[in-house]
Chains A and B, each alone.
Chain A
Amino acid sequence: MNQTEQNTHAPVGVAPILQARNLVKRYGHVVAIDHAEFELYPGEILAVIGDNGAGKSSMIKALTGALRPDAGEILLEGRRVEFDSPLAARAAGIETVYQNLALSPALSIADNIFLGRERRSEGFLGKYFRKLDRDYMRKEARKHLNALGLLTIQNIDQPVETLSGGQRQGVAIARAVAFGSRVVIMDEPTAALGVKESRKVLDLILDVKRRGLPIVLISHNMPHVFEIADRIHIHRLGRRACVIRPQDYSMSDAVAIMTGAKEAPVH
């Protein structure tokens, strides 16, 4: 079966913003990515689901520069890109919210949002003494949290470790949105959260979508995936098995395709 002939329910006449063609990654005899295809379209939430070991994280790593594929190509807005590090992917506008959030617990919210991308003061002190523009970073951090309705966090100088799990997720998402100009990838954003906090984070993701940023959502939580995804990419045995729309299939169908109990739809 030729994967490119699958019906991926792509919007008509729109070019994908992020695309992978024929990606391959082998570790010795193990094939982690087996000629995988991937397309993300502007303004959508694409969920990526797959059983453990199906190779979805390998594919995501290739898209975010954490892993170099052996073959195949990655296109960002139609142009071929090669990321040799996560930093390169970030510089191209692809932000990732990692499952462990990549936050530094003892540092403040503002410090975390600008971690690794600090801004120096203008003028003499910034130029020669590398002084940070803390007022600017505080102001911007507050603005980004505000824009996502996260201002229940009052004190921007509060250490991240004093926040709840959902609030921390919010800070990590705000950071990604602040710097992600093209794509935001979220790895299991609700896995560590309770019901109410998950609800809040799902609303937050929909909010990010409304702001026009396309989102790749990697999740094991079927109710969450079916609630907010526009399309669902089902990954199996190192490649894309199919792309379905949540309104066409049930959750148990999706799980059955994922595990191979049910044939992937052809058209």
Chain B
Amino acid sequence: MASTSQQAHVSFDEERRTPLKRFQQFLHANPTTIPFIVLALSIALFSAIVGGRFFHPFNLSLVLQQVTIIAILGTAQTLIILTAGIDLSVGAIMVLSSVVMGRLAVLAGLPVPLAFMLGLLVGVACGLLNGFLVARLKLPPFIVTLGTWSIFGALNLWYSASQTIRQQEVAEAAPFLQFTGTAFNFLGARITLGSILMLIIAAFIWYLLNRTAFGRHVHATGDDPEAAKLAGINVTGTLIAVYTLAGFICSVAAWALIGRIGAISSISGATANLDSITAVVIGGTSLFGGRGSIIGTLVGALIVGVFRNGLALAGADSLWQEFAIGLLIIVAVAIDQWIRKVSA
């Protein structure tokens, strides 16, 4: 009986739906369509502005390398945003880990594998601290990671003494740290191992989110933490695990960062925070938690990369890159809000 009345309601709504409403409902059911549309539009836009240069294999390789760091941090950010949190410290964790790896291996002369492991451990510890503050002390993620962003940044400046370890020094003492920069040719484009590493991490997190119970718990925690708790999910444990895993991924991103730049600097990766959040949000993951996808984040990272690269090719001052990324993130959040109104 209830079902017939339900059907009656649905068909009633059907009659009043405008094409725009229908599009909104389609996007609500298929949120990953947006990033693909935006990616196609932005590629079309920039190829119109800068012409064939954009599609030059060398340039596409460059985009992919730029995207690698954003995408790895983006997968960490996706995990956190799915729990309705945010991590402003991903970039700072990455740089701190890279500095720890570099200084221990190159300047302190530690065995490279040990220095590398300690660098990863720093990332895990940073993530654990974020997770503890968010899940146990119940502090808002925005404030926690705003604070730890500053703290990790300061630790990084102190520990590195603001010195840069030059590419040559790293190559001599710890070539393993630059391993992710190793490139090979694929259809005329230079692909680095860092990009492969990105795909492996993304595949791993995709599996975790979509094929394991932990992934269901991450979604449920972000969707409605009270309901998740009543359903028997350990919400606190899930949150701590998510932040810790994100910290670990950031420290793996540090490896990709060293491979990409060659040198190790305390001031690299400055734009990584906002870029990763932009990639996640424009990739269709909701800032309100519970819904989103890793594939969307990869496409979102490509969009950010295309924007930065396209503007640079067009000869625009780099300040316009920041302008564009700022604009992108606001538009992405506005679209997210609009789509979410469907369920309300």
Tell whether A104 pairs with B227 under 8 Å between CB atoms, given A87-B232, A90-B232, A115-B216.
Answer: yes
User: Which residues of the partner chain A approach B226 to less than 8 Å between Cβ atoms?
Assistant: 100, 102
Report the bound CA distance from A118 to B212 in whole Å. 9
User: Which residues of the partner chain B approach A107 to less than 8 Å between Cβ atoms?
Assistant: 216, 219-220, 223
A98 within 8 A of B: yes
Q: Which of B199-219 contact A (CB under 8 A)?
A: 207, 211-214, 216-217, 219
Binary flags per residue of A69-99, CB closer than 8 Å to B gives 1, else 0: 0000000000000000011001000001010
Closest to A195 in B: B5
Report the bound CA distance from A167 to B3 in whole Å. 8
Asked if B290 and A115 sit within 8 Å, CB to CB, the answer is no
Q: Which of B225-240 contact A (CB under 8 A)?
A: 226-228, 230-233
B6 within 8 A of A: yes
Tell whether A104 pairs with B224 under 8 Å between CB atoms, given A120-B213, A130-B212.
Answer: yes
A11 within 8 A of B: no
Residue from B207, B217, B223 whose CB has the most chain A CB atoms within 10 Å: B223
Tell whether A196 pairs with B227 under 8 Å between CB atoms, given A130-B214, A131-B211.
Answer: no
A197 within 8 A of B: yes
Report the bound CA distance from A132 to B210 in whole Å. 9
Q: Nearest chain B CB to A107's CB is how many angstroms away? A: 6
Asked if B343 and A104 sit within 8 Å, CB to CB, the answer is no
Tell whether A116 pairs with B227 under 8 Å between CB atoms, given A107-B216, A107-B220.
Answer: no
Asked if A105 and B224 sit within 8 Å, CB to CB, the answer is yes
Q: Which of A100, A103, A105, A199 sits near B2, CB closer than 8 Å? A: A199
Closest to A153 in B: B3
Report the bound CA distance from A7 to B263 in whole Å. 85
User: Which residues of the partner chain A approach B228 to less than 8 Å between Cβ atoms?
Assistant: 102, 104, 115-116
B187 within 8 A of A: no
Closest to A117 in B: B232
Asked if A166 and B2 sit within 8 Å, CB to CB, the answer is yes
Residue from B213, B219, B228 whose CB has the most chain A CB atoms within 10 Å: B213
User: Which residues of the partner chain B approach A252 to less than 8 Å between Cβ atoms?
Assistant: none
Tell whether A105 pairs with B223 under 8 Å between CB atoms, given A199-B2, A200-B1.
Answer: yes
**What is the total of A-B residue contacts with beta carbons within 8 Å?**
91
Closest to B224 in A: A104
Binary flags per residue of B318-337, CB closer than 8 Å to A gives 1, else 0: 00000000000000000000
A251 within 8 A of B: no
Asked if B6 and A104 sit within 8 Å, CB to CB, the answer is no
Asked if B219 and A118 sit within 8 Å, CB to CB, the answer is no
Asked if A116 and B231 sit within 8 Å, CB to CB, the answer is yes
Q: Which of A90, A100, A117, A120 sits near B227, CB closer than 8 Å? A: A100
Report the bound CA distance from A152 to B4 in whole Å. 9
Report the bound CA distance from A152 to B223 in whole Å. 25
Asked if B223 and A199 sit within 8 Å, CB to CB, the answer is no
B308 within 8 A of A: no
User: Which residues of the partner chain A approach B343 to less than 8 Å between Cβ atoms?
Assistant: 105, 161
User: Which residues of the partner chain B approach A200 to less than 8 Å between Cβ atoms?
Assistant: 1-3
Report the bound CA distance from A200 to B4 in whole Å. 11
Closest to B213 in A: A118
Q: Nearest chain B CB to A22's CB is how many angstroms away? A: 28
Q: Which of B295-341 contact A (CB under 8 A)?
A: none
Asked if B224 and A118 sit within 8 Å, CB to CB, the answer is no
A44 within 8 A of B: no
Tell whether A106 pairs with B216 under 8 Å between CB atoms, given A115-B233, A167-B6, A199-B1.
Answer: no
Closest to A66 in B: B230
Asked if B227 and A103 sit within 8 Å, CB to CB, the answer is yes
User: Which residues of the partner chain A approach B103 to less than 8 Å between Cβ atoms?
Assistant: none
Report the bound CA distance from A104 to B343 in whole Å. 13
User: Which residues of the partner chain B approach A104 to less than 8 Å between Cβ atoms?
Assistant: 219-220, 223-224, 227-228, 231, 290
Closest to B232 in A: A116
B291 within 8 A of A: yes
Closest to B216 in A: A111
Q: Nearest chain B CB to A218's CB is how many angstroms away? A: 15
User: Which residues of the partner chain A approach B290 to less than 8 Å between Cβ atoms?
Assistant: 104-106
Report the bound CA distance from A161 to B219 in whole Å. 14
User: Which residues of the partner chain B approach A194 to less than 8 Å between Cβ atoms?
Assistant: 5
Report the bound CA distance from A204 to B220 in whole Å. 26
User: Which residues of the partner chain B approach A105 to less than 8 Å between Cβ atoms?
Assistant: 223-224, 290, 343
A52 within 8 A of B: no
Asked if A102 and B5 sit within 8 Å, CB to CB, the answer is no
Report the bound CA distance from A103 to B1 in whole Å. 23
Closest to B221 in A: A104
User: Which residues of the partner chain A approach B231 to less than 8 Å between Cβ atoms?
Assistant: 102-104, 112, 115-116
Residue from A98, A102, A117, A118 whose CB has the most chain B CB atoms within 10 Å: A102
Q: Which of A13-45 contact B (CB under 8 A)?
A: none
Q: Nearest chain A CB to B264's CB is how many angstroms away? A: 34
Report the bound CA distance from A131 to B61 in whole Å. 35
Report the bound CA distance from A107 to B220 in whole Å. 7
Tell whether A130 pairs with B6 under 8 Å between CB atoms, given A98-B230, A104-B219, A104-B228.
Answer: no
Between-chain CB contacts (< 8 Å), 22 pairs: A104-B219, A104-B220, A104-B223, A104-B231, A105-B343, A106-B219, A106-B223, A107-B219, A107-B220, A115-B231, A115-B232, A116-B232, A117-B232, A118-B213, A131-B211, A132-B211, A132-B216, A152-B6, A164-B2, A164-B6, A166-B2, A167-B6
Residues of A whose CB lies within 8 Å of any CB of B are 86-87, 90, 96, 98, 100-107, 111-112, 115-118, 120, 129-132, 134, 152, 161, 164, 166-167, 194, 196-197, 199-201
- Pick the 10 closest A-B CB pairs, nearest first: A116-B232, A102-B230, A152-B3, A200-B2, A118-B213, A104-B220, A115-B231, A106-B290, A116-B231, A166-B2
